[in-house]
Amino acid sequence: SQWGEENLQALSIQEGEDVTMNCSYKTYTTVVHWYRQDSGRGPALIILIRSNEREKRSGRLRATLDTSSQSSSLSITAAQCEDTAVYFCATDGASGSWQLIFGSGTQLTVMP
Amino acid sequence: GPKVLQIPSHQIIDMGQMVTLNCDPVSNHLYFYWYKQILGQQMEFLVNFYNGKVMEKSKLFKDQFSVERPDGSYFTLKIQPTALEDSAVYFCASSLETDQDTQYFGPGTRLLVL
């Protein structure tokens, strides 16, 4: 899982497998954003889950949110090579804050 | 989708010099942000900007940093003078509104301070 001072984590899977990445956050948030970052590019939002949602789906992506344990997960079903990227969770931080607080990220490599 | 552009993509400068990083945000967006990412580490918030003012900044946003967006042109991050520890990738982002709204990120400017 990712957060805080942890170094970038790495996961390597075969094409067609399912994968789940976890994220825990320290402060209350009303939304968890999941971004992917391809090599040499900026982060791109892939799914966003709000505090009143326990699960959110978008295509092969599924995000969950457990506000009681302050954790979220991102699952990818039947991963493809083009899913290879770094995946970050991000929260809104303290109430009234404008910033996104990013986790340390998970480098996902999907091998053919 | 909406695109944020950043110029230049790479910049190499000597310590002590001034550098300006340029961001062309999404055209109708009102909120602008800078983030810093050191290789292999998490992205960290620097500052956000709205209606001509800095709304929030982190402890990473040192006195040597400044931001502006004169007359709706580029949103800029200026570092003067630069230090070795400023070497990083700087990402600009913009959003239409704040409060859970999606932030769209640019491709980053890779800054190397020698």
Residues A43-102: pLDDT tens digits?
A: 999 999 998 999 999 999 999 999 999 899 999 999 999 999 999 999 886 666 778 888
Among residues A104, A100, A83, which one has the least CA distance to residue A33?
A: A100
For residues B72 and B52, what is the distance between their CA atoms, to the nearest angstrom? 10
Residue-averaged pLDDT of chain B: 92
The residues pairing with A73 across neighbouring beta strands, listed in sequence order, are A22, A64
List beta partners, residue B105. B93
Amino acid residing at B91: F
Q: Do A98 and B48 touch (CB under 8 A)?
A: yes
What pLDDT, on a 0 to 100 scale, did the predictor assign at position B1? 75
Q: How far apart are CA B57 and CA B21, in angstroms?
A: 17
**Model confidence over B16-58: pLDDT tens digits?**
999 999 999 998 898 999 999 998 788 999 999 999 999 999 9
β-sheet bridge partners, residue A66? A71
Q: Quick one: pLDDT at residue B39?
A: 84
Residues of chain B with C-beta less than 8 angstroms from the C-beta of A99 = 33, 45, 48, 56, 58
Residue A5 pLDDT exceeds 60: no
Cis peptide before B81 (omega within 30 of 0): yes
Q: What are the pLDDT digits (tens) for B76-104?
A: 999 999 999 999 999 999 998 765 578 89
Q: Which residue has the higher pLDDT, A8 or B56?
A: B56
Burial class (CB in 10 A: 0-12, 13-18, 19+), B67: buried
Confidence band of A4 (pLDDT split at 50, 70, 90): very low
Q: Rounded to a whole number, what is the distance in Å from the CA of B17 to chain A's nearest CA?
A: 25
Cα torsion through A89, A92, A93, A94, rounded to 10: -160
